[in-house]
Structure 1
Amino acid sequence: MRIRRQLRSRAARTLLYPVIVLLVLASLTGGYETVRGAVRAGSTPGQGRLIDVDGHRLYLHCTGSGGPTVVIEPGAGLTSSDLALISPAVARETRVCVYDRAGRGWSDPSDAPQDGARIATDLHTLLQRGDEPGPYVLAGHSFGGLYALTFAARYPEEAAGLVLIDSTAPAADPPPGPAPTADPDDTMQRISALVATGGRLGLGRLLGVDSADHLRSTVDEYLLAGFSVDQAAALRTFDDKPLVVLSAGRGARPGWAASQDALAALSSTSLHRVVGGATHGSLIDDDDDAAETARGILDAVSAVRERDARP
């Protein structure tokens, strides 16, 4: 009331109440996020394990038995829970692992920039410390395809097969020399910090993201996309190892089909299947289309087994 009396402009007095409402809402949502984060930090997941990976814990959940072990990378902003229609079907035939990248799901955030190279390195460490031996069939949806390609480039002896599920394409003309490592400039860091602040005030809830860390992790993933695209291009060939490319039959933008054909050309033993009627998202979140995705992953598993059985 004292501030209102001191404001001489009628317009300013009119704006005072909306500002107060916004501050109250920010306090309430910020308090909610703080309490929610504290509760979550003190809890443990009902399934899977939290494993220390160079100073932060990542969530790993593996089911099924047999080999080769399948490791599935979800797309940008997604978590292991978004693979709930796929992993159980794969687990009926072989071992399958899903995990949460840093800052989302059950996993802790990381101070290191989460470009494709860092994600592949963290995944490698996670699997080793989780006693999940390779070689693996790496399956990646959307941005997850970039991370699967980068893993295969950095750890070729541990990549027995690849499944690229409507995958984002790597750079067509990567820069010469070693793939660049993310070193975000000041602008990127400011954007990331601003997003983190918005997340703590409950912005993530409006965007369908479950925490401030998840929101920041997702935004950082897009900010570092250029690095990840270049790093994935380090895999120039997958030789004759089994490669399955699954493409959505609907909703593709111009040039997408050609990029999918280029991915299939990475191996002399590849299968490119277009899932008619499927969209980019439905390949993991629609019952029928997710079943086709699981079938494609198991086709790669069978091909690896047949290759290993040759004299």
Structure 2
Amino acid sequence: MNLVRHRRTSTVLALCCAVAGVGLVGCEESSDADSKPSASTTTATATATEQADNAGAFMGTKKIKFNGLSVNVSCSGKAAEGRPVVVLLHGGGDSVEKLAGFQKSLSERDRVCSYDRLGAGASDKPGGPQTIESTGKVLTAVIDEVTGDAPVVLAGHSLGGLIAARYAPDHQDRVKGLVMMDATSPTQTADLTDGIPESATGMAADLREQTLAVLEGKSPEMLATPDGEVRSAGDIPVEVIQHGKKYLAAVPEYGPALEASWAKGQEKWLAVSTKSKLSTAENSEHYIYVDEPEVAAKAIRSVVSRAGAGSQAAN
């Protein structure tokens, strides 16, 4: 009986991470994606040493200060002329360590950086509740540190995708492209409450309760993510990638509705740019960059190339 209860709890936690796009304590340990370790997983963050390249940009990991708090940043690769720097944003409950193998692969062609948001990974805990605006200020500090005044392409997974899309419209001078990998829906709270009624029981009820709590900021990041309209970031190139394996269908009775609302949420993100494109990673669950890293890498490199060409044309 205890084994059955443990399995149900693990499933709820894993689904909560995906549906909310933000993590609960213990989320990483129970996610299917985290059961796929790679020999290269810790390569980008294993060393605390920094190597300066000829542009003065660091390689490896370092801690930067933001309002007295320590933020863990990791960078790989050298900037190529005419190509923006890629900044990866992890999902809730994750960290730069989760992204390290993917970051290393991307950095064979471009400069790629990632960072632990406050309350995640090796960064300090936030001093209090966070908002999209306050976490965006941390992102600005990271961009200033790793790129100087160079343009960037933001590539976010899950919650990281939502943060990137909320950030870009207000920073069109710096953000020249977006890649959103199974990003949290801009109307996630409404999607969830419509998909799972308050009268639900069992796994669905647990999923509803825990996910809503996280969306309200009851997670280590203390980041509340209220629903909102998708604002435009102009005509920057945007790739929205959604999962193809319908794993949310595992929720008894309400699974198909959750899958449908998730797909609609991905379509809503297309409004972030007049040059947005939606595609499906057919063999992926939530962690697209783990299940099909080549699909995610191709999208990022395409956006970087298009963003670089656009910036040169503007000059």
Taking structure 1 as the reference length, what is the TM-score of the superposition?
Answer: 0.64
Q: Structure 1's 83 and 132: CA in aligned 2 closer, same or farther, altered over 3 A? A: farther
2:139 aligned with 1:134: no
Counterpart of 1:150 in structure 2: which amino acid? R
Report deviation, 1:103.
2.6
State the alpha-carbon separation in 2 of the partners of residues 218 and 50 from structure 1. 25
State the alpha-carbon separation in 2 of the partners of residues 48 and 132 from structure 1. 17
1:51 to 53, 64, 71: 64
Report deviation, 1:164.
0.7
Report deviation, 1:306.
2.2
Q: Is the 8 A contact 1:116 1:146 kept in 2?
A: no
State the alpha-carbon separation in 2 of the partners of residues 277 and 173 from structure 1. 27
Deviations 1:244-302 (A, max 9, x none): 11111112522222221221233221222111121112x1323xx02211111111101
2:88 aligned with 1:88: no
Report deviation, 1:146.
1.4
In structure 2, list runs of 5 or more residues that go unmatched: 1-46, 50-59, 191-216, 249-258
Partner of residue 121, structure 1:
137
Q: Is the 8 A contact 2:179 2:240 kept in 1?
A: yes
State the alpha-carbon separation in 2 of the partners of residues 166 and 82 from structure 1. 16
How many residue pairs get matched? 218
Report deviation, 1:85.
3.0
Report deviation, 1:173.
11
Q: Is the 8 A contact 1:76 1:218 kept in 2?
A: no
2:262 aligned with 1:256: yes
Partner of residue 240, structure 2:
245
Deviations 1:104-136 (A, max 9, x none): 322122203233221111110133245543321
Partner of residue 12, structure 1:
none
State the alpha-carbon separation in 2 of the partners of residues 133 and 148 from structure 1. 18
State the alpha-carbon separation in 2 of the partners of residues 152 and 256 from structure 1. 22
Listed as ranges, the matches of 1:1-311 within 5 Å are 45=48, 47-65=60-78, 66=80, 67-130=83-146, 132-171=148-187, 219-221=219-221, 224-227=223-226, 229-230=227-228, 233=229, 235-251=230-246, 253-281=259-287, 283-286=288-291, 289-310=292-313
State the alpha-carbon separation in 2 of the partners of residues 271 and 156 from structure 1. 19
Q: Structure 1's 103 and 259: CA in aligned 2 closer, same or farther, altered over 3 A? A: closer
Report deviation, 1:95.
1.1
Q: Structure 1's 132 and 91: CA in aligned 2 closer, same or farther, altered over 3 A? A: farther
Report deviation, 1:140.
0.8
In structure 1, list runs of 5 or more residues that go unmatched: 1-43, 175-216
Larger radius of gyration: 1
Counterpart of 2:76 in structure 1: which amino acid? T
Q: Is the 8 A contact 2:130 2:224 kept in 1?
A: no
State the alpha-carbon separation in 1 of the partners of residues 303 and 218 from structure 2. 29
State the alpha-carbon separation in 2 of the partners of residues 58 and 88 from structure 1. 20
Counterpart of 1:307 in structure 2: which amino acid? G
Partner of residue 199, structure 1:
none
| Aligned alpha-carbon RMSD (Å) | 2.5
Counterpart of 1:170 in structure 2: which amino acid? P
SS in 2 for 1:147: helix
Which protein is richer in helix relative to its size?
1
State the alpha-carbon separation in 2 of the partners of residues 248 and 109 from structure 1. 31
Counterpart of 1:57 in structure 2: which amino acid? S
State the alpha-carbon separation in 2 of the partners of residues 119 and 136 from structure 1. 17
State the alpha-carbon separation in 2 of the partners of residues 89 and 224 from structure 1. 30
